[in-house]
Amino acid sequence: MNCEEARKSFPLLLYGELSFDEEERLEAHIDECAACREALARDKALWRELDSAELHPTQDLLEDARAELKSRLAAARPMRESFWDKIRDGFSIHFHFAPGLGQVAGAAVMLALGFFAARVTPGSLGGAFHAAGLAEPVTSRVRYIEPDGPGKVQIVLDETRQQVLSGSVEDPSIQRLLLAAAKDPSDAGVRVESVDLLKNEPQSAEVRQALLYALQHDPNAGVRLKALDGLKAFAEDPETRRTLTHVLLNDDNPGVRTQVIDLLIQQHDSLRQRNDAMVSVLQELMEKESNNYIRMRCQKALTEMNASVESY
């Protein structure tokens, strides 16, 4: 998100009209942009002033406005009611002792329109979508709270309905959702499932970056192992090897370190020759590694590269 997009989103943010993802993108930009933070602070101050302003029209002004509205409505009223006017009036509630025929007809027409709309609307979303039914609950979340004068408060709610989206993992829209879910900090299970699907599409540069990020930063070892599985085909890629090296020296899970050491020193022809960078990493690892299997693999690799087990 650039500054122009961010500032266009300020009014929507202040009135709680941004989606969760849009608000997350905006907040990420604001965290990095001092100019936009200042602009948002000015907009918030102006918004509070405008929101707190109260108009107190005089009684004469109110009476004049009502009289003018009444005269204009009378002048605009058609001489004869249309069919739809009759239907509307029939559907309206009148205080009679018994409902008239127009009310029954109006109710029937509105019921038919509602049924037709309910049947047609989900189809307009496309074959891949299944719209949430009317009976499904709305999920509400308090997003923003701000004092609004003595004894008052303003609360902004995020309200969402569930939708089911199905399609191929190669579909760009599906893939974007999976990439977002792979970084969802609130649900490790969703991240595991997302990375497990994405690891089958590592040829995409965007997916590969997501796997590298998950391998380095995800707090859940299961997610890191899934990401590592997807990166095996790219073990010779320089960026991937740098990430693997970092993980080998810093990851606190022995299962992850075991998988990484096996991947780094697998028997490729390029590793049979002495590699000073790799030698240095393995020697550093030997000094602090407590896992016997990993120490054994390090020692074997150093021996094959004619390097000393001790650092130098």
pLDDT over 60 at 263, yes or no: yes
The number of folded domains in the chain is 2
Q: Is 283 exposed, middle or buried, given 0-12, 13-18 or 19+ CB atoms closer than 10 A? A: middle
Residue pLDDT, tens place only, 28-42: 898 889 999 999 999
Within a domain: residue 139? no
pLDDT over 50 at 296, yes or no: yes
- Sign for the CA dihedral angle at 48, 49, 51, 54 comes to positive
Beta strands, E only, 139-231: 139-147, 153-160, 164-165
- For the question of whether the overall pTM of this predicted structure is more than 0.85, the answer is no
Quick one: how many helices (H) and strands (E) in the chain?
Answer: 15, 4
Q: Return the pLDDT at 267.
A: 45
pLDDT over 60 at 117, yes or no: no
Within a domain: residue 98? no
Residues 6+ apart with CB under 8 A from 50: none
pLDDT-above-90 percentage for the chain: 9
* Alpha-carbon distance values, 305 to 157, 241, 245 (Å): 62, 18, 17
pLDDT band at 218 (very low <50, low <70, confident <90, very high): very high
* Alpha-carbon distance values, 239 to 15, 59, 270, 275 (Å): 43, 74, 16, 16
pLDDT over 60 at 97, yes or no: no
- Sign for the CA dihedral angle at 13, 16, 22, 27 comes to positive
Within a domain: residue 128? no
Mean pLDDT for 125-150 is: 59
DSSP assignment letter at 125 = G
Within a domain: residue 222? yes
* Average pLDDT value for the chain: 75
The token pair at 215 is 């391998």
Considering only 167-171, 192-196, 219-223, which range has the smallest mean pLDDT?
Answer: 167-171
Residue with the larger pLDDT of the pair 105 and 183: 183
The helix/strand/coil state of 153 is strand
Domain that holds residue 33: 3-52
Within a domain: residue 217? yes
Alpha carbon distance 278, 299 (integer Å): 12
Residue with the larger pLDDT of the pair 267 and 51: 51
Within a domain: residue 14? yes
Within a domain: residue 252? yes
Alpha carbon distance 200, 230 (integer Å): 6
Within a domain: residue 48? yes
Q: From 36, 52, 68, give the residue that closes a domain.
A: 52
CATH code, domain carrying 190: 1.25.10.10
Q: From 52, 76, 92, give the residue that closes a domain.
A: 52
Alpha carbon distance 214, 234 (integer Å): 15
